[in-house]
Structure 1
Amino acid sequence: MGLAVFDIGGTSVKYAFWQEDDLIDKGSFPSPTTWVGMKQELRRVKEKYAEQYVVEGVAISSPGAVNQAARVVEGASALPYLHHFPIYDELEEMFGCKVALENDANCAALAEVWKGSAKGLDNVLMVVVGTGIGGSVIINGEVQHGAHLFGGEFGFMLLNETQTFSQLGTAVKMAQRYCERKGYPIGTVNGEEVFRLAETGDDIAAEEAEVFYQSLARGIYNLQYSYDPDLILLGGGVSNKPDILEQLEKRFELILKQVGIAPFVPKVETCYFKSEANLIGAVYNYMQQSNKIRGTENETIAK
Structure 2
Amino acid sequence: MYLCFDVGGTFVKYGVFDEQGQLQLESKRPTALNSKADFLADLVAIYHRLAQQYSLTGIGISFPGFIDSQKGQALLAGAIDILHGENIVALLGEAIGQPDLPIALGNDANCAAIAEQYAGSAQKITDFCLITLGTGIGGALVQNGEIYEGSHFRAGEFGMMVCDFTQEGYKTLHELASTSALVTRYRQAMGWSAEKKISGEEIMADTSEVAKEVKKTWSDYVAVTIFNMVAQFDPALVLLGGGISQNPALLPLVKDALARNPYWKDFQTEIDTCHFYNQSGLIGAYYLISKLERKQLQ
Shared fold (TM-score greater than 0.5)?
Answer: yes
1:130-149 correspondence runs (5 A): 130-149=134-153
In structure 1, the residue matched to 2:51 is 50
In structure 2, the residue matched to 1:249 is 255
* 2:287 is the counterpart of 1:284: yes
Asked if the contact 2:183–2:203 (Cα under 8 Å) also holds between the matched residues in 1, the reply is yes
Match of residue 116, structure 2, among 109, 112, 118: 112
- Between the aligned partners of 1:69 and 1:195, the Cα distance in structure 2 is 40
* 2:180 is the counterpart of 1:185: no
Give the aligned length: 288
Asked if the contact 1:165–1:219 (Cα under 8 Å) also holds between the matched residues in 2, the reply is yes
Shift of 1:181: 4.3
Give per-residue Cα distances to partners, 1:36-90, cap 9 Å, x unaligned: 2222222222222322332211111112211123432121422222221232212
- Between the aligned partners of 2:106 and 2:76, the Cα distance in structure 1 is 13
In structure 2, the residue matched to 1:270 is 273
In structure 2, the residue matched to 1:122 is 126
Shift of 1:232: 0.8
Asked if the contact 2:102–2:289 (Cα under 8 Å) also holds between the matched residues in 1, the reply is no
In structure 2, the residue matched to 1:4 is 3
In structure 2, the residue matched to 1:240 is 246
Structure 2: which 5+ runs fail to align? none
Give per-residue Cα distances to partners, 1:279-301, cap 9 Å, x unaligned: 11001122334455567xxxxxx
* 2:84 is the counterpart of 1:80: no
- Which amino acid in structure 2 is aligned with residue 24 of structure 1? Q
Asked if the contact 2:7–2:62 (Cα under 8 Å) also holds between the matched residues in 1, the reply is yes
Asked if the contact 2:4–2:282 (Cα under 8 Å) also holds between the matched residues in 1, the reply is yes
Asked if the contact 2:67–2:77 (Cα under 8 Å) also holds between the matched residues in 1, the reply is no
- Between the aligned partners of 2:15 and 2:179, the Cα distance in structure 1 is 31
In structure 2, the residue matched to 1:29 is 29
Asked if the contact 1:179–1:187 (Cα under 8 Å) also holds between the matched residues in 2, the reply is no
Give per-residue Cα distances to partners, 1:195-242, cap 9 Å, x unaligned: 444x2233xx33221111111112212211211112111001220221
- Which amino acid in structure 1 is aligned with residue 104 of structure 2? A
In structure 2, the residue matched to 1:169 is 177
3-state SS of paired residue (2:266): coil
3-state SS of paired residue (1:122): coil
Higher-Rg structure is 1
Q: Closer, same or farther in 2 for the Cα pair 1:250/1:111, shift >3 Å?
A: same
Give the alignment's TM-score, normalised by structure 2.
0.88
Stretch moving more, 70-79 or 279-288:
70-79
